[in-house]
Chain A
Amino acid sequence: MVDIHELAEYSLKKASPHGEVIIGVENILQHQIRIANSELELFKQWKDINLDIFVAIGKKTGSTSIINPTFEIIDQQIPKLISFIEGLEPSDLFAGIQDEPKTPSQVEGLYDKRMKDFPEKAPEMLNAAINEAEIAGARRTAGSMFFDEIDTCVQTSHGFDGSYKTTSYELTLRSFVDAESSGQGISVGRSLGTIESDVVKAGRESGEIAKMAIGGKQGKAGTYDLVLHPTVAASIMGDLLGGANPVMMLMGMSSFNDRIGEKLGVDAFTVTDDGTKANGLGSTPFDIEGTNTQKTPIFDKGALVGIVHNATSAKMFGTQSTGNSQLIEFWTGSKLLVPGATNYVFEPGNHSFEELLESSKPTIYVTSNWYLRYTNQIEGLFSTIPRDGMFIIEDGEISKPIQKLRITDNLLRMIKNIEAMGKETRQVKWWEVETPTFISPMRIKDVPMTAATQ
C-alpha cells in the first residue's frame, strides 16, 4: 500500500506549478453490516485510498478524485485536470483558498485503537442488540451499522501539511411488532468505550417504542404542541441550520438571507457549529484548506449571529474563515469547495423529559421522522412525516399511539415557538440527519399536523 503522505506530496508537486492546489488523501477501511428480519443480511467492506485534487488557475477551478491512485495514474490525471480547468470560464464565485495556514491543531478523542478488532466483534454485538430489542417487545428488527478507520492527510500549495486519524461508528436499529408498530434506536460515536452497552441500549429503545406503538389509530389533523425526540429535533432544526451557509444563501436554499443579526428564535435557541466537539462525528483538527476548526456561534439566544465560512466565502463577506471548508460531492464527477457544517451543538435546557410532556394543550410526542421537503426553502415552508411511535400526551403522560400525520409548518415559525428544551443531550446522525447534531428533546407549540383527505 502506498503511503498517503507520499501520494499527497507527489500530487502537490505535480499540480502546484499550475496554480493554487488542495490535496486531500484518505486511507479508508470501512465496514457495514445490514440487518433485516432480525438476521445479518449483508456484510460489506471498503478498503480504499481516496485522493482528491482541487486546482485553481486564477479564478478557474476544478477537481478530480482518484480511488487507489498510483504515481502513474496521478501522472496521467493531473494534466487532464489542468487541461479541463483551462477550458473553463473564470468564476466570480472563487476568491482563493486559505493562504495563511497556521500550525495544524489537535482535537482529542477522534481515534480509538480498539477499532482494529471491531470487525470481528461486530456481528455478535449486533446480535445482542437484536436480542435486546426482542426482549423489549420487537418481533423483528432491521438495521445498518457502519464502522470505519480513516487516516487523512491534507496538503496545500500555501504550505499546509497536516494529518489525523479517526474512527467512527453509526448504528440505526429499527424494531417492528407489526408493519405499523415500530420504533427506532440509534447509537453513534468515535469512541468505542461504551459501544457494547450503547448498541444494546439502542436495541432496547427501538423495541420499547415499537411495543408502545401497538394499536395506533389514524391521528386527527389539527394544531398541536409537539414534543420532539432528539432524532426529530435534529432533522428539522438541522435542515434549517443548513441555511447558515453563504453558498446555500447564494443558491436560494436558505431561510436566512440578509437576516444575520436578527432575532429569529426564542431565547432558548442557542446553537454552535463546533468542529472540535469531543466524540463528534463531524470533528476534525482542520478543514480541507488547512484552516483549524473552531466553535462558531450560529444562534445566540435566538439571534442569528454567524454563518460558516471557507476562505473564499470569508473574503466575500469581509471576515475570516471559520474552518468549515469541505470538498462536497454533488452527484458524480466533481466536488464543490464550499463551507459545510461540522457538528451542530445545541445548548440544552433545564427540563426533564417528564417536564416537557406537561401541558394543558393537545400534545403529540414524535419519536422519528423522514422525508423532509420544502414548498419554499427561502420562506421555510416544509413538511415531514413522523414514523415509528407517535403518541398523544394527556395529563403529562404518554397515553395512546397514533399514526399517519404529517408535520406541515414553517421552520422560521417553529424556532419562535420553542417552549422548552430538555436537559439531556445526545449525538444524532442517521439517514435523515446528515450533520452530526448534539441536541436534547424539545417542546414546540402550535404545530399544524395534516392528514390524507382520502
Chain B
Amino acid sequence: MDYHDLVMHGIQFGDNLGAKYIELRYIDAVNESYNTTNGQVLAAGSSSPTGIGIRALVNGGMSFVSTAQLTKKGVEDAVSTAIKLAKATKRKTPIVFSEEEVVETSWKSPIETKFTDVSSEIKLNRLTELDKELVNAVGEGALPNRNAFVVLETHKKLFANNEGTKIEAGYSVGFIYLMLTAKNLDKTEQRFIGRGGTFGWEWFSSPNFIETFVEEAKAIHTVVQKAKARKFDTPIDMIIGPEVAGIIAHENAGHPSELDRIKGREAAEAGESYWADVEIGTERTGSTAVTVIDDPSIPGSGGYYKYDDEGVKSRARYLIKEGIITEPLTNRQFAGQIGVKSNASARSIGFNREPLVRMANTYIEAGDFTTEELLEDIKLGVFMENFTEWNIDDRRYQSKYVGCAARLIKDGEITDEYISRPTLELTSRGLFNSIDASGKGFSPDLATCGKSNPGQGIPVWTAGPADGVRMRNIRLGGI
C-alpha cells in the first residue's frame, strides 16, 4: 500500500471500530542540522522521520498514537490502540470538535532551491564562511564564542479525516540561530539571533545572509565596548525596535491568546492565561495604538501554512485590535467548547506529536510614523533595539525584557551613549497601555516557540514595525 492508501485505510478501519472522529496525518520529512562553534563542526547530520500520527475521538475521550510501521498491519494496530486508549479516559465531559468545512486540496510553500538538492559540503562551507566574516568584522578576540545552528527541514504531508477532508502539503523551512559572546577586557555581552522562513537554500546563499549577521556582530561589539549603566530617577519614554516588539507580541499577546491555555489544558506545565479573566471582544488590554496580529498565511514566513494540522484554512487573526482583546487562537477542540469555528491554529512538529494550538507569525501592526517622527518629542528616553534576557510568568502577565543594544535618546535624537542592560519589567496591561505610536514597516525574526510536553519547538516569526514602537512613561528597573 502507498501512503495514500494506508491513510485512507486507517480512517476506514477506525470508523469501523466506532471512532466518532479519526484523523491520520502522514509526514515524510528530511531534516538536516549543522552546528559550528568558532567555525569548527560540532555536529552535523540528517534524518528522515516518516510515519503517521493518529488522533481518535471515542465516547468523548481522545487519544493520540503514532506509528512508523507503514504497513497495513502497522496502521491497523496503531488505530486499534488509539480507539482503546480514547475509551480508557472515561471522560465525564465529552470532547466535541467544532464543525468545519470539508476540504480536498493541496498546497506547497514556494521555493527556488530545494535543501535536498544542495550538498552538505556547500551548506557547511556557507557556515564557515559566515564565521570567517564575523571574525573579519570585529576580530577573533572580540567574539570569543560564535555558535551557529542551522536547521533545514523538508516535509511532505497528507492529512485526512473521517469527515472527508483530505489535504496534501509540501513545505520547506530553514533557519539559523547565532549565539554570540562579545568581549572587551573582562566584560562580556551575549546575544541570541534567529532568522529564517519557509523558503529554500536560495535564502542562505544570498549575500544578505552574511551581511545581516556581520552587522549584528559589529553591533554587539560596540555594546560591550561602550555600554554603561545609567539610572533614571523618573519615568522615561522609550522606542523599542522590531525585535523587542516581536517578542512582546509573541509573549504578552500570542501566548495568552491560546484558547487551550485559557481553558486550562496546558495548566500543569506551560500554564494558563490572564485572558481567562477577561471579556473577549470588549475588554481593553492596551491603548488604541496597539493592534497585534497572528497570521500564518504569509508566504515565506517562519510560520507559514495554508491549512493547519486539522485541515482548516489559515487566515490572519486579530488578537488585539486597537487595544481590545478580540480573538483567541484556537483549534477544533476548543472552538467546539465555546461554540465557534476554528481559526486554524492547530500545528504539530512531526508525525509523532499531537497538533496543538500554536502561533504562526505574531506581530505588532505597523502605524504611520517614521523613526524620526516617533523620536520627535522625546526629551529623555531609551532606544532599545534588541534584547538578551526575557521571561514571563505562566499566565503571561508579568514580563521582563533586558536590552542589549540600547542607546540614550535626548531631545528627539538617538545619541551615541549606550545604556547597559536596561530592564523593562512590566505587566502585559502596563506594557500595552504605555504604547502610544507604532512605526512603519515590518521586520521579522525567527524563533522556535516551545510548548507542551513532550515539547514541540515550532518555527514562528516574531515581528514588529521596522521603524519601532514608542512607549511612554516607563519606569525602568524592577526594584
Contacts and interface: CB of A to CB of B under 8 A. Distances in A.
Is B truly associated with A? yes
A65 interface: yes
B267 to A, nearest CB: 3
B426 A250 contact: no
Interface of A: 32-37, 39-48, 60-68, 77, 80-81, 83-85, 87-89, 91-94, 123, 140, 142-144, 172-174, 176, 179-180, 221-222, 247, 250-253, 330-338, 370-379, 381-385, 387, 404, 406, 408, 430-431, 448, 450-454
B423 to A, nearest CB: 8
Given A142-B267, A251-B179, A45 B85 contact: yes
A39 B92 contact: yes
A85 B121 CA distance: 9
Contacts of A66: 47-48
B277 A40 contact: no
B229 interface: no
A67 B46 contact: no
Given A144-B269, A172-B268, A42 B393 contact: no
B299 interface: no
Contact of B68 (A33, A35, A67, A381): A67
A450 B277 CA distance: 24
Contacts of B82: 45
13 contacts: A44-B64, A48-B68, A61-B41, A62-B45, A83-B120, A179-B276, A332-B153, A333-B32, A334-B35, A334-B46, A376-B189, A450-B400, A453-B478
A36 B267 contact: yes
Contact of B45 (A180, A252, A334): A334
B267 A452 contact: no
Contacts of A337: 43
Interface in B247-276: 263-272, 276
Contacts of A61: 41, 43-44
Interface in B33-92: 33-35, 37-38, 40-51, 61-69, 81-82, 85-86, 88-92
Contacts of B349: 332
Contacts of A173: 268
Main secondary structure, interface of A, reads: strand
Given A42-B354, A406-B425, A385 B46 contact: no
A385 B425 CA distance: 12
A408 B421 CA distance: 13
Interface in B93-145: 93, 119-122, 124-125, 128, 144-145
A378 B188 contact: yes
A431 B266 CA distance: 12
Contacts of A378: 181, 188, 190
A88 B120 contact: yes
Top 10 nearest A-B pairs (CB, nearest first) are A334-B45, A252-B145, A450-B478, A333-B33, A142-B267, A87-B121, A68-B68, A454-B430, A43-B85, A87-B120
Contact of B46 (A37, A80, A92, A450): A80
A396 B243 CA distance: 46
Contact of A44 (B48, B350, B354): B354
B41 A453 contact: no
B352 interface: yes
A180 B43 CA distance: 43
Given A89-B41, A404-B398, A333 B47 contact: yes
Contact-residue bracket for chain B = 35 or more
A332 B29 CA distance: 10
A333 B448 CA distance: 15
A435 B400 CA distance: 26
Residue of B42, B89, B402 with most chain A CB atoms under a 10 A cut-off = B42
Contacts of B44: 61-63, 84-85, 88, 334
B393 A371 contact: yes
B394 interface: yes
B475 A454 contact: yes
Given A67-B49, A334-B43, A376-B189, A252 B181 contact: yes
B81 A453 contact: no
Contacts of A140: 264
B425 A43 contact: no
A87 B63 contact: no
B165 interface: no
B210 to A, nearest CB: 18
Contacts of A81: 45-46
B453 A144 contact: yes
Contacts of A123: 88-90
Interface string B451-475: 0011001000000000000000011
B350 to A, nearest CB: 8
Contacts of A377: 190
Best-surrounded residue of B65, B93, B349, B391 (most CB of chain A within 10 A): B391
Given A123-B90, A333-B152, A247 B479 contact: no
Nearest to A54: B45
Given A48-B66, A452-B430, 15 more contacts: A34-B268, A92-B40, A174-B268, A252-B145, A333-B33, A338-B42, A371-B394, A374-B388, A376-B189, A379-B188, A450-B478, A450-B479, A451-B479, A452-B425, A453-B426
Contacts of A430: 269
Given A252-B179, A453-B430, A39 B265 contact: no
Most A CB atoms within 10 A — which of B41, B50, B89, B149?
B41
Given A68-B69, A87-B120, A250-B37, A375 B426 contact: no
Contacts of B88: 40, 43, 123
Nearest to B434: A454
Contacts of A253: 179
Contacts of A247: 42
A383 B389 contact: yes
Nearest to A206: B268
A41 B92 CA distance: 11
Nearest to B429: A454
Contacts of A221: 478-479
Contacts of B34: 334
Contacts of B430: 452-454
A331 B151 contact: yes
Contacts of A375: 190, 388-389, 402, 421
B271 A387 contact: yes
Given A43-B63, A48-B68, A375-B388, A331 B149 contact: yes
